Amino acid sequence: MEKITCCPKCGCEIIAIKENYRGTANFYYNLNDNEECDNSGYYDDTKYTRPNKYVKCAKCGAKIMTIEEFEKMTK
């Protein structure tokens, strides 16, 4: 498959992949410092699925490629 670098319909270089998340997470915040703590493990105990078959253009919504093609391209 030829590498796709933009949407063939509108030229946008950004894609969107719809994902559904399920689970719980704790968000940590330090009240004394008034800033977020390290929340890098926020999604560790969640599960996600990709309900759609296609990767779509973030601007116009055109189907760019299948999820399977995207995963092969990004490995």
Position 3 scores a pLDDT of 86
pLDDT of residue 33: 95
Q: Report d(CA 72, CA 67) in Å as an integer.
A: 9
Q: Which residues of 19-40 are buried (b: 16+ CB within 10 A; e: fewer)?
A: eeeeeeeeeeeeeeeeeeeeee
Give the model's pLDDT for residue 1.
Answer: 67
Angle at 51 between CA 17 and CA 69, to 5 degrees: 55
pLDDT of residue 74: 87
Give the model confidence (pLDDT) of 21-72 as tens digits.
999 999 999 999 999 999 999 999 899 899 999 999 999 999 999 999 999 9
